[in-house]
Structure 1
Amino acid sequence: MQRVTITLTEDLATELDLFMAKSGAGNRSEAIRDLVRRALLTRTDVPAEAPCLAVMSCTVDQGVRNLGARLAQRRLDTHDHTLATLSVPLDHTTSLEIEVTRGTVDSVTRAAEAQFLERGVAHGALALIPVGEDAARHSHEHSHGAPGHEHSHIRVQAGFGPVEG
């Protein structure tokens, strides 16, 4: 880690201390790291081809004609990018839908925006998590002695990196 010294106005220091108390941060450094990390993930100049994981959430009115079927078909059409889905019934017609996908910033953003535009979909939110993939592939022997399959791992990155231009 690098040590960075900053100067804050009294008002900002007070706000930071309030944030610390509400968030549970143990000290100002933890609070500032959290705030900076969150701010960097909201950049709008992220490269479109940057790999990421995406967590998309929205409410869905299941009473809207064929909406549930259209959303299910979209997930089937993108099965190679969809990692997990969760549907939480909220009342007799509304559910909270949560989907974790993998792709490029551009592809997951376009998919989320298309879903948010559907009639009957509301409260859409998209969180992007920058990732990279290990270049080295390996396998693990299973505990029951069966050979493992060759694979690599996704690694969560601190940010999307510098943007060239």
Structure 2
Amino acid sequence: MNLVRFGVSIPEELLEKFDRIIEEKGYANRSEAIRDLIRDFIVRHEWEVGNEEVAGTITMVYNHDEADVVKELLDLQHEYLDEIVASLHVHMDEHNCLEVVVVKGEAKKIKKIADRLLSLKGVKHGKLVMTTTGKELV
């Protein structure tokens, strides 16, 4: 892998804030932090374009007593067997559960799956966390 040096002009105050944050996060130097920012930018672009194979997690908290939420969650997961890789179920208390669904596939389809799961009645909160399969990332 060839490394390339490039210059960036930014306001001094912005650089000072950036340096404080990278120190807090434990980066060895600015280059490492900038590489991570560029990788994140590329991953977000993969999700926006929608053609790339992507990976992620759909995390949900729901009340298992609410209507047919458990049945609907399971039915939807079975509907997308090719995209849903695994799931983790945690009992938070006597009524609430945490479910983490690991997904992999075309970005547009993964977003659709997340929208369907997160919009179910009984799901109190949820979020799609998007990442990459790593195949195209340096």
Structure 2 equivalent of residue 41 of structure 1:
43
Give the Cα–Cα distance (whole angstroms) in 2 for the partners of residues 2 and 90 of structure 1.
49
Structure 2 residue 136 is matched with structure 1 residue 157 = yes
**CA shift digits 1:20-52 (9 cap, x unpaired):** 122221111111222232233334873223211
TM-score normalised by the chain length of structure 2: 0.84
Number of positions where the alignment pairs a residue of Structure 1 with one of Structure 2: 136
Which amino acid in structure 2 is aligned with residue 70 of structure 1?
E
Give the Cα–Cα distance (whole angstroms) in 1 for the partners of residues 99 and 58 of structure 2.
8
Give the Cα–Cα distance (whole angstroms) in 1 for the partners of residues 129 and 47 of structure 2.
15
- Structure 1's unaligned 5+ residue stretches are 132-154, 160-165
CA RMSD of aligned residues (A): 2.2
Q: Give runs of aligned pairs for residues 1-165 of structure 1, distance below 5 A.
A: 1-43=3-45, 46-131=48-133, 156-158=135-137
Q: Secondary structure at the match of 2:49?
A: coil
Give the Cα–Cα distance (whole angstroms) in 2 for the partners of residues 90 and 22 of structure 1.
32
Contact 2:58 2:102 in 1 (8 A): yes
Q: Secondary structure at the match of 1:156?
A: coil
- Structure 2's unaligned 5+ residue stretches are none
Give the Cα–Cα distance (whole angstroms) in 1 for the partners of residues 136 and 130 of structure 2.
11
Contact 1:16 1:31 in 2 (8 A): no
Q: Which has the higher contact order (CA 8 A, sep 6+)?
A: 2
Which amino acid in structure 2 is aligned with residue 123 of structure 1?
H
Comparing 105-114 with 8-17, greater Cα deviation is found at 8-17
Aligned-residue sequence identity (percent) comes to 23
Which amino acid in structure 2 is aligned with residue 32 of structure 1?
I
TM-score normalised by the chain length of structure 1: 0.72
1:85 positional shift? 0.7
Larger Rg: 1
